[in-house]
A and B are shown apart, each in its own frame.
Chain A
Amino acid sequence: MAAEKRVIFRSAWLPWLLLAPQGIVIAAFFFWPAAQALLQSLQQTDAFGTSTQWVGLENFRNLFNDPTYLASFSTTAIFSALVAGLGLVLSLTLAYFADRVVRGAGIYRTLLIWPYAVAPAVAGVLWMFMFAPSIGIASYALGQLGFEWNHLLNSRHAMTLIVMAAVWKQISYNFLFFLAGLQSIPKSLIEAAAIDGATPWRRFWTIQFPLLSPTTFFLLVINVVYAFFDTFAIVDASTRGGPGKDTAILVYKVYYDGFKAMDLGGSAAQSVVLMVIVIALTVLQFRYIEKKVNY
């Protein structure tokens, strides 16, 4: 280890000044709304906010006494695992092959990045139209093959639909990072392995995949957060949480209760719960999974 170059600030206020822009942004866009959510979760107000009562933990009690709310935890867990898992596997596969493509690589990559420019609500509507029972092009094709698609009443079909839409939307983002990660792996390592007679499969698992682990870990965290927070528009535009409550993931209920039903207290309590879950998940990921990451 060579002597590390350390810069020491002699002034007391300069570091704070340099930190300030970032600090202000975080305070305004994260701490302030989060504090508001915490306050509101302890209140009940009428729609127009003309009367406000402090109700203590009652909003939380209401939530946890509602069996459908508890059920939406497992729905969310399944949904998030599928979205993060499938999203990562598919985009890594695509990136791996894109990395090997020689001719037309630019076009291929550009096309793969396109879906990222689509708004989540539009993605939801798009997939909903394709799979609309009896009139959607995809459900019609499935019907011709003898498979009756009906996400209005079949909860597996409905879950499949929102997972497909959410994964499709996120693949481009993952793809970009995986591709950049793959391209930053020195070619000499792979060539050396190839000369030693390692198959492409073996080269991937023993060289590329371990070297990609920082990227994979970063994307895992991002994808879990995406599945938890950014997917309500997809659900709202395609299944609206149905059939029954089988695709009503937590964040969709936050959105629905707050913005459609105008139950701000209940909605705030749910976002506090959601915030705690995501913080816990992120801590877990950093504690246990990060140990397996080679930087």
Chain B
Amino acid sequence: MKLPQIAIVLMGASLGLAAQAQTEIQWWHSMTAVNGEWVTDLAKQFNSSQSAYRIVPTYKGVYDESMTAAVAAFRAGNAPHILQVFEVGTATMMASKGAVVPVGKVMRDAGYKFDTSVYIPAVASYYTAPSGEMLSFPFNSSTTVFYINKDAFKAAGIDTAKPPATWPEVALAAAKLKASGHKCPFTTAWQGWTQLESFSAWHNVDLATKRNGLAGLDARLVSNSPLHVRHIENLANMSKQGLFIYKGRANTAEASFISGECAMLTTSSGFFGNVKKNAKFAFNVATLPYYPDVPGAPQNTVIGGASLWVLAGKKAEEYKGVAAFFNFLSNPEVQSASHKRTGYLPITTAAYQLTEKSGFYKENPGADTAVNQMIRKTTDKSRGIRLGNYVQIRTIEDEEFEQVWAGKKSAKEALDSIVQRGNELLERFEKANKS
């Protein structure tokens, strides 16, 4: 009995020593299920690839919860080193200068070459400050795409080889689906993101001034243009005719696509893995519909998803570990594997080419739709949307659109109200972050 006890004590002691020599890096994230396993695996891979640092990933609730948790932790002086923040929180993080360390600086200080030009343009520009410094590390980027239930199309006698590419074609297909007895021809998740933000970039029109907020905090919403009104009116009409069925805020509509209840859906490309695993019908991922008479459409879509922020107030040695981890994540092979596994964008051109070479897109038609939408050359109107208080503005968009679908407000009234209420929040944000 004595010997094993001594062995255990010795083992414990040596483990303790090893742990002491390693620098621990806390990483708070919001990935669950399949994506949660992905994050854990990334940390494991990195930890076993070297011995100086140890990444500790912790799930801290959905995006807005983990952000609130990090804010509280920062105020109390025990924030994590790395925080995953969704795109809606980007402007808030950028404005919190004392709380974050730009990723470019972290990499430089640790002696790594950090070339932002390898990233897909829309991704890089989104996380870059007007000064040209990259502030956060692109991690899981997604964009909005259009999912189609092929079996439902066949049952309604629609050609599945040519999915509806424009909004008039969507309305026609929806009418045919309805005539064939389908109860929910078209629905959308993330209505603000898909029908207003991505819609604007896709049609190369401004959602807000100052290059949609990328160029400064004094940006204001202009999303009540005739084209915006026309689109929301169109959706309102479809809703009245039972062609568009509203299924709720955020991503609740996604469940009604997987169950087969709704035949067409606009939502995140990150939904791909879920459909592939759970849908009991053949499906297609198409590009977002557009209006063919709008010059410049289709342009490109904007990104969603999240990036990794480095929080301030840590030791230099710890920042070296963060840089080493980011360097590991920058490997095209790691990025390509992540892209294939999750449906998030490949982030860099090299990772995209690597994925293409492997034959993945041939085996999984539709998986490259999001990439194709994003990889185009961007314009000032389509580079990305980055506005302060955006969590609240998204809610305002939800509230006003619901009034339109319920027939209480016209498209114009609702959009005017979004602009007015949203701009009050933008003014307040500008003021609070002036310093």
Contacts and interface: CB of A to CB of B under 8 A. Distances in A.
The listed residue with most A CB atoms (<10 A of its CB), out of B96, B98, B99, B432, is: B432
Contacts of A241: 395, 399
B247 interface: yes
A46 interface: yes
Nearest to B250: A240
B78 to A, nearest CB: 13
A76 to B, nearest CB: 17
Contacts of A245: 399
Contact of B431 (A44, A242, A256): A44
A154 B74 CA distance: 41
Interface string B398-434: 1110110110100000000000010010001001110
B421 A68 contact: yes
Contacts of B95: 46-47
A153 B405 contact: yes
Contacts of B400: 244
Nearest to B393: A261
A260 interface: yes
Secondary structure class of chain A's binding surface, majority of residues: loop
A268 to B, nearest CB: 14
Given A49-B75, A152-B247, A242-B399, A261 B392 contact: yes
Given A244-B399, A261-B392, A46 B68 contact: no
B96 A50 contact: yes
A57 to B, nearest CB: 14
Nearest to B97: A50
Contact of B403 (A47, A152, A243): A243
A133 B95 CA distance: 40
B402 A46 contact: no
Contacts of B20: none
Interface string A233-275: 0000000111111000000000011011111010000000000
Secondary structure class of chain B's binding surface, majority of residues: helix
Nearest to B407: A153
Contacts of B402: 152-153, 242-244
Contact of B424 (A44, A46, A66, A262): A66
B92 A262 contact: yes
B333 interface: no
Interface string B121-165: 000000000000000000000000000000000000000000000
B424 A154 contact: no
A265 B259 CA distance: 43
A39 to B, nearest CB: 15
B406 A243 contact: yes
A180 B161 CA distance: 71
For chain A, give the interface size range: 20 to 34
B64 interface: yes
A53 interface: yes
Interface string A122-147: 00000000000111000000000000
B246 interface: yes
A47 B92 contact: yes
Given A45-B432, A152-B248, A243-B403, A261 B389 contact: yes
A260 B64 contact: yes
Nearest to A265: B432
A62 interface: yes
Contacts of A153: 246, 402, 405-406
Contacts of B424: 62, 66
Interface in B76-126: 92, 95-99
Contacts of A30: none
A259 B391 CA distance: 11
B432 A48 contact: no
A207 B362 CA distance: 82
Nearest to B239: A153
Contacts of A199: none
A27 B48 CA distance: 52
Nearest to A50: B98
A62 B428 contact: yes
A46 B249 contact: no
B99 A50 contact: yes
Interface in A183-236: none
Contacts of B395: 241, 256, 261
Given A62-B424, A62-B428, A244-B406, A134 B249 contact: no
A45 to B, nearest CB: 7
A51 interface: yes
A248 to B, nearest CB: 8
A64 to B, nearest CB: 13
Interface string A34-57: 000000000011111111010000
B435 interface: yes
Contacts of B183: 134
Nearest to B64: A260
A134 B246 CA distance: 12
Contacts of B75: 48-49
A112 B305 CA distance: 45
Contacts of A46: 92, 95-96, 432-433
Interface of A: 44-51, 53, 62, 66, 68, 133-135, 152-155, 240-245, 256-257, 259-263, 265
Given A49-B71, A50-B98, A260-B68, 5 more contacts: A49-B74, A134-B256, A152-B248, A153-B246, A241-B395
Q: Which 5 A-B pairs have the closest CB atoms?
A: A50-B98, A48-B99, A243-B402, A153-B406, A261-B392
22 contacts: A44-B432, A45-B432, A47-B95, A47-B96, A47-B99, A48-B96, A50-B96, A50-B99, A51-B433, A51-B435, A62-B424, A135-B259, A152-B246, A153-B405, A154-B406, A240-B249, A241-B395, A259-B68, A260-B64, A260-B68, A261-B389, A262-B68
